[in-house]
Structure 1
């Protein structure tokens, strides 16, 4: 990610408001789903790519991890992580994901939550992750769903006469590459890849794909956010668990 949007003060202020809301997408849908795929972390060494405010890093420690390294390119995010989620066995590093080959460590798990769609060179990232993983090491990550990232002009919906969403429009799906979307009146760069590219890159790098989840809201989530019903039409994220082939 060449530009660090999370260090744009106006953008970060608006983004923080969403994360401070207990009933945000991450808390209601993405985190419960990806947490179910976590392996036993007792005594393990974990790398968190795009660690943000460090909530996941401290959770890994609480689950028994021996050491966690969290990297993020955002100074704003790392300031929060250090102030909120410091621990003697957590190391936070300001680093772009393109630079992880510089880390002199081997990991039992590489983890990333909703960050990989910001990475331009996905092939390089997956190759570097494989080199950092121990034998039988696990890669567990979520990213924006290709259905979400595909439309070059952003997501559009067909609605009924009352304004209820009927279905999302899908376009540009096989055109891999950069997308620019407006979020909080700020241009944000992301990268779209069709599912075949995401999975085949893992296969080429000798990963066995263990599980794929397209998370949807449960009854609790819908009771807190009725608008989350949109996830049944077009999932916002996808979660992939893969392991180094023997």
Structure 2
């Protein structure tokens, strides 16, 4: 775990939080990706104990409350995001339990407790993938579900123009990088898809589904097409990966 990186990212997210208020929460998994109302990966969440890693503004937890989830828990690095989530979820009963903490550290969450742990477009911010996944594994009940989405590992390795793709950085190169589309200095992590899969297996998860599909419905294009996510590029390489697994 890199303390300097965590400090930089915390400051960056505290500054950026207003831009990401309610941005791409469930039922969305990511830009130009299939939605939960199409995929039904969560299944019936009625009375389920759910924990979100990187809960942001709290809108994904609010969505699951509307689906009758029993308990809502969330962890986020940003103090601003946690305060925002508290405001968004202030009328929820039972009260949502939110923790300001890096995902690499266990802030005192119960072990073997949750039916579902999930993360929507946040897992790539971890400075230690193995520690984060080990934490998730401990939080879950036996047979519990872990669901997460993140930018597809190929996406920022490729540039697209005039219907053609050009590889601009090796897919094999892993580790921290400064994201060129991020306004404030912040460090993300680059991993191959196989690294996510193998680390999940080594941690004790059984992988059930991997989704790399792209959704280009006209109704959502205006929400997602921007300087970084383009329809032209999404037709050539997926923007998002979604992985569902279970604690074995």
* TM-score category (smaller protein): 0.7 to 0.9
Alignment match, 1:103: 109
Deviations 1:52-73 (A, max 9, x none): 1111111112212110101111
Match of 1:241 among 234, 241, 244: 244
Query: Secondary structure in 2 aligned to 1:65?
Result: coil
Query: CA separation in 2, counterparts of 1:213 and 1:33?
Result: 14
2:123 aligned with 1:116, yes or no? yes
> Bigger CA drift: 115-124 or 28-37?
28-37
How does 1:1-246 map onto structure 2 within 5 Å? 2=6, 3-4=9-10, 5-8=12-15, 11-13=16-18, 15-16=19-20, 19=23, 26=30, 29=33, 31-32=35-36, 36-86=40-90, 87-89=92-94, 90-100=96-106, 102-105=108-111, 106-149=113-156, 151=157, 155-157=158-160, 159=161, 164-169=162-167, 171-221=169-219, 224=222, 227-245=230-248
Question: Structure 2: which 5+ runs fail to align?
Answer: none
Q: CA 1:65–1:234 in structure 2 vs 1: closer, same or farther (change >3 Å)? A: same
> Bigger CA drift: 191-200 or 81-90?
81-90
Q: Shift of the alpha carbon at 1:18?
A: 9.3
CA RMSD of aligned residues (A): 2.7
Query: Secondary structure in 2 aligned to 1:215?
Result: coil
Query: Secondary structure in 2 aligned to 1:98?
Result: coil
Query: CA separation in 2, counterparts of 1:198 and 1:175?
Result: 14
Query: CA separation in 2, counterparts of 1:71 and 1:18?
Result: 16
Q: CA 1:217–1:190 in structure 2 vs 1: closer, same or farther (change >3 Å)? A: same
Q: Shift of the alpha carbon at 1:145?
A: 1.0
Q: CA 1:42–1:222 in structure 2 vs 1: closer, same or farther (change >3 Å)? A: closer
Q: CA 1:91–1:35 in structure 2 vs 1: closer, same or farther (change >3 Å)? A: farther
Q: CA 1:230–1:156 in structure 2 vs 1: closer, same or farther (change >3 Å)? A: closer
Question: Structure 1: which 5+ runs fail to align?
Answer: none
**Paired residues, what number?**
230
Query: CA separation in 2, counterparts of 1:83 and 1:35?
Result: 29
Structure with greater proportional helix content: 1
Q: Shift of the alpha carbon at 1:137?
A: 0.5
Q: Shift of the alpha carbon at 1:32?
A: 4.1
Query: CA separation in 2, counterparts of 1:69 and 1:96?
Result: 14
Query: CA separation in 1, counterparts of 2:14 and 2:185?
Result: 13
Query: CA separation in 2, counterparts of 1:70 and 1:35?
Result: 23
Query: CA separation in 2, counterparts of 1:228 and 1:32?
Result: 21
Q: Shift of the alpha carbon at 1:95?
A: 1.3
Q: Shift of the alpha carbon at 1:122?
A: 0.4
